[in-house]
Structure formats: structure tokens, C-alpha cells
Chains A and B, each alone.
Chain A
Amino acid sequence: MSRPISPHLTWYKPQITSVLSIMHRFTGIALAAGALALAWWVVAVAIGGEVFTGTTAVYTSVIGQIVLALWTLALAFHMSNGIRHLCWDAGWGFQMRQVRSSGWLTLAMTVILTALVWVFVLLV
């Protein structure tokens, strides 16, 4: 049987609801990759020596910093939207109006949290 098994990306008109929903999935995958990077960092600290220096070099390179910035963005979004999900699971915020406004709130939180982290990283 070759029926479609999931809606995949065949969207109707992009809407705040559908866009945030697929972004939750993308950021979840990105965070899983980020967890790998974090785990490696801990192991690299334990090994020390060249392994640690090499890891630091990669993580502080321009590309490394861009990836880390995107990872912060992903974490901020996934956490904010995850809290939105948990509210839904508790039965709160199901009205269409609320779903949309909590969606915009999620985006605002994402920007604020990411900015907060990076302002400190660049200033401290």
C-alpha cells in the first residue's frame, strides 16, 4: 500500500499554527544533534589534551559559533513551544484565538531568550 503516512510538508496556506508545529519537529531533531555535541564536549573535557583543544577550536570557530547560535535559537523555540504544548495537554488554551496568540507569544519568547543568552555570551 502506498498511501501517504503523514502530511509531510504538503501544506495548505502556511499559518502560524502549522508553521510552529513543523518547527517544533525540526528543532527537536536539531536539539538531538546538539545533545550529541554537548555529550562530546563533556567527554572531551574528561579526555583533555589535544582532544579538548581541538573540540574547543571547532566550537569557537565561526561556523561553530553560528551552529551554537542556531542551537540556542532551537532550544529557546522548542522550550517555549514545548511549554505551549504542555499547557494544551493540561487542557488550557484550545480556543483558536488563544492558539494563535500563544503562537506569537512563543515566537516572542524565542527571540527574547536567544537574545538574552547571546548578549551575555558576547558581553561577559
Chain B
Amino acid sequence: MSERDTKDDDDKEEGKGHSGQESGASKETKQQGKDAKQSGQKDNDASSDKDGNQDKEASNKDDDSDHSSRKDAGNKDDDGSDGNDDDSGGSDDDDVIKVARTPTDPSLLSQLKHSQQFRHAKGLGSGRTGAAIWSVQRLTALALIPLAIWFAVSVVLLTHASHTDAVHWLASPVRAVLLALFIVIALRHAVIGLTIILEDYVRGYALRTACVLVLKGAALVIAAAVIAALIHLTFA
């Protein structure tokens, strides 16, 4: 988890705004990201006396500046720093990252999640989709426990398999489905994990994005090849 936070810091530091996993942020967005970073910092300093929860929220969520809840939160702050809130409402600044106050009240937060801006920003990849990806990583991990055990046992039993044995073994629809599930879920799990690793170690937006795209492409090709092979074996 901490790796992800570090990555976010890195991006802000470089003024790149969204470090999208898949889609390229436009130049405009990057520039705006830089501005956002500066105003965001100001905000953070001004309100740093608020409770610790905020740091976590602020690094993950959008500053949804023309949403009413934002203004409410700003007013609670009574430190006069909400000047930043007023400059961007409705303009195409909407999908800019601003690291700033986010309401910690869960109901306000869920309102924020359903706002237009949030869904807009979501398409830009990382920083917006972290929580969902986190759950997918856990769910795939959970599914992989029984699948991996089944797979290990099967491999043991197939140790001295001839080609005929192997074909026969794979031609069973149940086994083919289980094996396809194992490989597809493992690939999904691995793509998420490897993406996190790439985001930790690969410097530079372009190179990082290229690596992630190659990774995803490779996983897709592997999954397709395995499924094609299994279909071939099952129906041959």
C-alpha cells in the first residue's frame, strides 16, 4: 500500500497530475496538474491542523470544486483558504487533480463519488481507480487459493504424462474451464501486481505507461492463446 502512496507523491512532484495506467493525459491536463499541485499544497498547509484522516482521503480523491459538499467542507475550515474553490467551477478545469480538503463524512464522500467530475476523472486511470483495483487484487487472490491447490495437485498427478495423457486430461470440459479460470485469474492478479511494481520503479510517465501497456497486451495475448488451445483440445 505504501508503495502506491509513494507513487502518487512522485507524480505530483513531477507535476504530471494523472499518471494514467492506460490513457495518456493531455498536455493541458499535465499543466493543470502542476497548478493544482501548487494550490493543493497551499490548501494542505492551511488546513493541516485538521484530523489525520484527511491526508489519506486527500491523496485519493478528487477535489470536486463545484460540488456543494466541497464548499461546505471549505467553510468548516474557517481559515480563509477556500479561495481556491471558486476559480474553477464549471470550466474545463473539472478533471484536474487538486490535492485538497475532501469531506470525510461518508455520505458526502459517496455523493462525491457519483458526481460527474469524479466519473470523468475515473477514465484517466490510476489515482481514481485505486480502491477498485485493490479489491480486484484481493478477490483474485482469494479465488487463486483453491485454484492453485487444484492445479498443484493436478500437476503432480500429470508428472509422467505422455502426450496422449495430457490431451486426454485437458480435453475434459471441467478441467479445461478450471485451467482457463486459473490462468485468466492469475494473469489478472499478476497484471495488477506487476503494474504496482512498475509504478514503483519505472521513472517517467511515458516509459511507465508504455511498460504497463506492454504488460497488459502480453497478458491478453497469453490468455487468448490458452483459451484457444483449450477450445481446440476440448472440441477436437
Contacts and interface: CB of A to CB of B under 8 A. Distances in A.
Given A42-B230, A45-B163, A46-B228, 10 more contacts: A5-B203, A28-B193, A35-B183, A42-B179, A45-B170, A75-B152, A83-B145, A86-B142, A113-B152, A124-B157
A46 B10 CA distance: 46
Contacts of A45: 163, 166-167, 170, 229, 233
A3 B159 CA distance: 49
A115 interface: no
A63 interface: no
Interface residues on A, range: 35 or more
B233 A79 contact: no
A23 B109 CA distance: 36
Interface residues of B, number: 41
B206 interface: no
Nearest to B194: A32
A106 interface: no
Interface in B189-236: 190, 193-194, 197, 200-201, 203, 222, 225-226, 228-230, 232-233
Interface of A: 1, 3, 5-6, 8, 25, 28-29, 31-32, 35-36, 38-39, 42-43, 45-48, 52-53, 56, 72, 75, 79, 82-83, 85-86, 89, 113, 117, 120-121, 124
A75 B148 contact: yes
Given A35-B183, A79-B144, A89-B138, A43 B226 contact: yes
B67 to A, nearest CB: 30
